[in-house]
Amino acid sequence: MTRTQPSPRVKVGLLQMASCPQPRDNLEKVREGIGRAAEQGVQILCLQELFRSQYFCQAEDEAFFDLAESIPGPTTESLSALARRHGMAMVVPLFERRAAGVYHNTAVVLDADGTLLGSYRKMHIPDDPLYYEKFYFTPGDRGYPTFETRYGSIGVLVCWDQWYPEAARLIALGGAQILFYPTAIGWHPSEKQQDGAAQQEAWKTMQRSHAIANGIFVASVNRVGFECPPGGEGLDFWGASFVCDPFGGVLAEASGEEELVVAECDWGRIEEVRRQWPFLRDRRIDSYAPIVNRLLDCPPTS
């Protein structure tokens, strides 16, 4: 049997950058990167998490709330014009000011005509040394939406979300063909030598597993460069942005330097892989309800 329908191929781009101290410089850098992506024919471009600034969550400082902006707002207006000009859909991660005291780590989706299709608000918020995100970000309250762009149905999750199979599953059940992970993950300098390779490998393995379990493309974009606030230890962001296919095969992968990663995604592969490995057919949906528990730790005597 062969496929009877043409298989749309979509060019996906990931803009992996080092961040400048000034937000205006990062916007300028992204606008320039979008130009390069357009030259390469990119149709869906994903920017890195919180791309307008350095990763300020290394410290808890309420002054950083000044970095937040409304959605729609200045960044979405600027990039929406470029989306329309280039006919390029975009995932635009922003520090969102929703209301006084309610800020989110958000990713906006712009369609290729510049329309703001909606946004995803990061659901899983980390809080670990140098990643003090629970101070800044109110957990998302709108679940796991998918967005119908001109080039295909996409889902977005953000960084820490990538460790949660439930989130990827819900995105896939919603019909996404590709799942983007804007990310900011790096090494603590003191851990890099001993644990760095294992951390990066776990990060990649986890995201490739979401592609496999769900039969969808996964694309993750991480920042690069060493960022160190005054008096801090700093974080060494490892880049390594990548796109993988619905069986976890890596289509394109960045180094630890600034790079525009481009990969062609053949949506027909989703149909092929899911016919050969029909995991979604056999899900035991009658048995998963207890997954909404924190733990299943009833006393053994009960």
Exactly one of 194, 293, 301, 302 binds its own copies (CB under 8 A); that residue is: 293
Known active-site residue 192:
no
> Nearest-CA neighbor of 91 among 70, 117, 126?
117
Cis peptide leading into residue 72 (ω within 30°): yes
CA distances, 105 to each of 131, 160, 208, 252 (Å):
13, 11, 23, 26
Q: To the nearest 10°, report the CA torsion of 295, 203, 285, 153.
A: 140
Which region, judged by CB under 8 A, interacts with its own copies, from 94-102, 163-171, 230-238, 257-265?
Answer: 163-171
Query: Which residues partner with 227 through β-bridges?
Result: 235
Active-site choice (46, 57, 96, 122): 122
Residue 29 interacts with its own copies (CB under 8 A): yes or no: no
Please give the distance of CA 298 from its chain centroid, rounded to a whole number.
36
Instruction: Give the x/- contact pattern for its own copies in 78-117, rule: CB under 8 A.
Output: ----------------------------------------
Q: SS in 3 state form for 170-224?
A: HHHHCCCCEEEEEECCEECHHHHHHHHHHHHHHHHHHHHHHHHHHCCEEEEEECE
Known active-site residue 49:
yes
Which region, judged by CB under 8 A, interacts with its own copies, from 13-21, 94-102, 166-174, 252-260?
Answer: 166-174
CA distance 171 to 168: 5
- Report the site for its own copies in 178-237 (rule: CB under 8 A): 198, 201-202, 205-206, 208-209, 212-213
Residue 283 interacts with its own copies (CB under 8 A): yes or no: yes
**Cβ–Cβ under 8 Å, residues 38 and 55:** no
Kindly tell me which of 98 and 134 has the beta carbon lying closer to its own copies.
134
Known active-site residue 265:
no
Active-site choice (46, 57, 133, 159): 159
Residue 174 interacts with its own copies (CB under 8 A): yes or no: yes
Interacting residues with its own copies (CB under 8 A):
123-126, 128, 139, 143-144, 148, 160, 163-167, 169-170, 173-175, 198, 201-202, 205-206, 208-209, 212-213, 247-249, 276-280, 282-297, 300
